[in-house]
Amino acid sequence: MYQIIGDLHIHSIASGHAFSTVREIALVAQQKKLQYIGLAEHGPSMPGGPDPIYFEARGHFPKKIDNIEVFFGAEIDILDENSTLDLDGPSLKKIDYGIISFHPQVYRGEIRSDYTSILLKALENPYINIIAHLGNPRYPVDYPLVVKKAIECNKVIEINNSSFRVSRKGSLENCKMIAQEVKKQGGYIVVTSDAHYCDEVGDYQLSLDLLGSVDFPKEYIINASPAMFQSFMNSFLKIRGRVR
């Protein structure tokens, strides 16, 4: 039903707890006939994550490896109840796209914080483009409110395959509710692997099964067609004052 052409949530050894190089990742993407990959390394607050200088050095990052187009992103953590992010404005402008998320290794706020309000405020940042693993039961939010805000701010909601395979247990039913809410409100989804080893790149069958179970429309999945994907990536770059 769905054919996903690019994977925008991939971690290399630069993230400190992943196991493959960019070249190894691109090779697997080529074998799986992907057209695009996006390296979304963690920010400097994640243990083992790259220092800010990594994001300053984007000029050395390849735009293409063989026939695979490569995008330079980041998975940016929310640090506290003030919606502080672990990358600053200049770094956010240098990357091609920004994914926002909560992680227990990084979040410094109260355990029972108002995660909905924190996330709604963070979504107002123009350099944030994608909300990662929203269905994580550790960080409960009001899904209709977050989806509404995402649509208002032109953000994309991720369905993260790793949440169903490796981590964030209990996410499946939450993500099903999220997909139904996005469908109802007319928002957009991106399907990702959240790969930490090269063989996981392009692995999102569990996410596709979930979307199929709610009859989610293909035309609202941004990485299900080249035209849609390019349109969204161009919009992410335009916010940063450049094109590709």
Sign of the CA dihedral with 126 first, then 128, 130, and 132 last: negative
Predicted TM-score (pTM) of the model is 0.96
pLDDT band per the 50, 70, 90 thresholds, residue 1: confident
Tell me what the pLDDT averaged over the chain comes to.
96
Nearest alpha carbon to residue 184 among 222, 142, 130, 144:
144
What is the per-residue pLDDT across 88-143, written as a single tens digit (0 to 9) for each? 989 999 999 999 999 999 999 998 999 999 999 999 999 999 999 999 999 999 99
- pLDDT of amino acid 244: 79
- Residues 148/119, Cβ–Cβ less than 8 Å: no
Give the domains, in start order, of the chain with CATH numbers.
6-239 (3.20.20.140)
